[in-house]
Structure 1
Amino acid sequence: EYERGVHGLREEVQEKQKMKELYEQRSQEVKKMTQERNRRESQLSELAQEVTWLREQCNIKPGDPKYLDLSSLELQSQIEVKQLQAQVLQYEDELQSLELQRTQLLKR
């Protein structure tokens, strides 16, 4: 559009600035989501270790009537983590696309 004279240098600079701001915003979102995912994975791991230790202390074995199957809880947490991972990947793809656009705009 710039080459065809549809809009001028000022508009091109504004467009670059918008892309840069969007890129930075998405970068921050990816960073926050990655931190949240890591925090949840850490919590899940700690809970699993604690449950295992408590079962050992109480001498509860799999198959015992007192044995509570926590796989459904773990599954829900894993689903949340996978959703966060998918969002992070989506944002990373979007960031790459924006970075490519920014690079192309800088070359003009």
Structure 2
Amino acid sequence: MPTPAEWVGLLYGDPIAGSRAEEQLEAVVAVATAQVRSYTRGRGFDADGNPAEDLATVIATAAVRMLTNPSGTESEAMGALQVRWGSNYLAWNLTELAILNRYRERAK
């Protein structure tokens, strides 16, 4: 089973170039993993801290979003220099929520 970092490579190819590529990849995968672990309250991770395969894909897709759009920009323009940042930049999409909610323990 691929690790989240390997999933990012499979999904995005060579996500970043430069001398700090490995550091940046490790950082975004660590952030996405922490977000998934928090959302699921630790469910779906084995004793070594490795996520289940479907959770690894959620981590990878979130990491790809962070790598491809680190500022959270929704739109840009050159004429009159407009920039708009998204309000739900790091929100889960519906497919990710379907996976995450399988593991999330809800309050009763």
- TM-score, structure 1 length as denominator? 0.29
- TM-score, structure 2 length as denominator? 0.29
Structure index of larger Rg: 1
- Pick the structure with more helix per residue: 1
**More relative contact order, 1 or 2 (CA 8 Å, 6+ apart):** 1
- Pick the structure with more strand per residue: 2
